Amino acid sequence: MNADHEKIRQKLKDMGAKLEHPLRMMVRNNFDYPDLRLEKIGGWIRVRDEGDKVTMSYKQLNDRSLHGTKEVNLVVDDFNTARDFLEAIGLKLFNYQETKRESWSLGKVQVELDEWPWIKPFVELEADNEEELKAAAEKLSLDFETAVHGSVEVAYLAEYDVTEAEVDGWPEIKFSPVPDWLESRRKV
């Protein structure tokens, strides 16, 4: 983590990677049933406005391995309508999150330059297999052996003295100054 996006962006350009989407703001709402039945199995429902489309996803973190997250996505017409639909069928909105993302294609590998509030920027690589991921990481001078897998909580755990459950329970993660309650828990 703490990726130098400028340096990586230049490498992507030099390698002829294709900029799919310039840096854009994305917002998401995460849902579960009131009894947290999805959380109990590592799951949640997400509605995300990606700037150019809106997706609704079921995500389930089974483990923090390369293939440990199950994800099923569909494109929907409208962020607010999707949110209203989920609430109408009994799901509860648990949090609101903002991020910024720039998307590139490097051959068959999707390269995401991600920014989340209050933590250092990082890079997400997605590919069909581990060999493609390792090759892309090497081309971008990223150490595949230190890669973390799963969801964004690990980035917050690296910078703050918090638990995954605490991060998951934050009602908002927004681009604003670090809240005092969190700043006091920053790791040195």
Mean pLDDT of all residues belonging to the chain = 93
Closest CA to 173 of 106, 107, 95: 95
CA distance 108 to 119: 28
Neighbours of 157 (CB within 10 A): 17
- Percentage of the chain beyond pLDDT 90 is 81
Closest CA to 12 of 90, 111, 116: 111
pTM score of the predicted model: 0.88
Distance of alpha carbon 121 from the chain centroid: 11
Q: Are 119 and 177 in contact (CB under 8 A)?
A: no
pLDDT tens for residues 81-113? 999 999 999 999 999 999 999 999 999 999 999
- Percentage of the chain beyond pLDDT 70 is 96
Q: Tokens representing 184?
A: 């006091």
Please state the rounded mean pLDDT for residues 58-67: 78
Question: What are the b/e assignments for 124-154, b being 16+ CB within 10 Å?
Answer: ebebeeeebbbbbbebbebeeeebeebbbbe
pLDDT tens for residues 117-150? 999 999 999 998 889 999 999 999 998 888 887 6
Domains and CATH numbers, the chain: 5-183 (2.40.320.10)
